[in-house]
Amino acid sequence: MTVNVLFAATENRWAEYEAPLRNAVSAAGIDAHIATDITPDQVDYIVYAPNSELQDFTPYTRAKAVLNLWAGVEAIVGNPTLRLPLCRMVDPALTQGMVEWVTGHILRLHLGMDAHIGAAPGTWAPQAPPLAFDTRVSVLGLGELGAACARALSALGFDVAGWSRSQKQIDGITCLSGAEGLDAALARADYCVLLLPKTPETENTINARTLALMPKGARILNPGRGPLIDDAALRAALDSGHIDHATLDVFRVEPLPADDPYWAHPQVTVTPHIASETRAAYSAKTVAENIRRGEADERFLHLVDRDAGY
């Protein structure tokens, strides 16, 4: 029997995904009709981006699951009309991209690359950088992306701890949880990587109080969510010298306005929300596997825990 798959996202996403999705679903052995305009009561699966025009799931009475194209689900998980199973997007390219961004920017700061790249010709200042063995990194958020980054940094020799709301266990990583665990993670963080979801509980995790807990000269990297940081508090900590540098990829307002103080701050690196991105050739395979699982009555991959909210 033909499976009807509704692609509910922006037009540019359809142009990007149409061929890879058809190929991935076919390779998974599924006879599927994939389109952007299927009658709601005939839809079996919804491939979904939260910025889609589709916001009311009530008419989709036959659908078995919503397969999110974004890694984050905070923009959809609170939708009161959504009663279907919801699967977050996890794919190798998304994870690999985040690992590369995080490790690359930490190594840039750790090795002091800017001083050599920007040095005047003839400058000879032979000062060896510190070793990773003596450098502590705390990763806030130990989901799929945070855990992968923690493992990669540990493999490079960094002393890595991770914090999450509920206790996790990851080989080689000191895992902390709860309010006391958060304070402990920040107090040891020469580098702090923010990979928490955006929820009411995580907003302004980095604030005046928590910044004061961090060692003088600490560095912050935020490829997670803009609202995790109290921006005024971070700028004050940078100006005072307590925080040495912030590398920021996400912001409360995007694109970051041209007059935002972060652009001109000498201790801030801005990247334009590029830390990680789903690539259709890879993420289409995740979608296809979940459709295959649904048709075989197997458990979906990356099913969202509604009680946890993410």
pLDDT of residue 309: 43
- The model's pTM: 0.91
Q: Which residues are catalytic?
A: 225, 273
Give me the pLDDT at residue 307, please.
55
Residue 138, beta-bridge partner list: 161, 192
Farthest-apart Cα atoms in the chain, separation: 72
**Tell me: the pLDDT tens digits for 47-95?**
999 999 999 999 999 999 999 999 888 889 899 999 999 999 998 999 9
Main-chain phi, psi angles of 210, to 5 degrees: -75, -30
Question: Considering only CA atoms, which of 225, 103, 238, 83 is closest in space to residue 160?
Answer: 103
Positions in the chain whose pLDDT score sits under 50: 309-310
Q: Report CA dihedral (130, 134, 137, 138) to the nearest 10 degrees.
A: -150
pLDDT at 72: 84
Per-residue model confidence as pLDDT tens digits over 266-308: 999 999 999 998 899 999 999 999 999 999 999 999 999 865 5
* pLDDT number for residue 306: 62
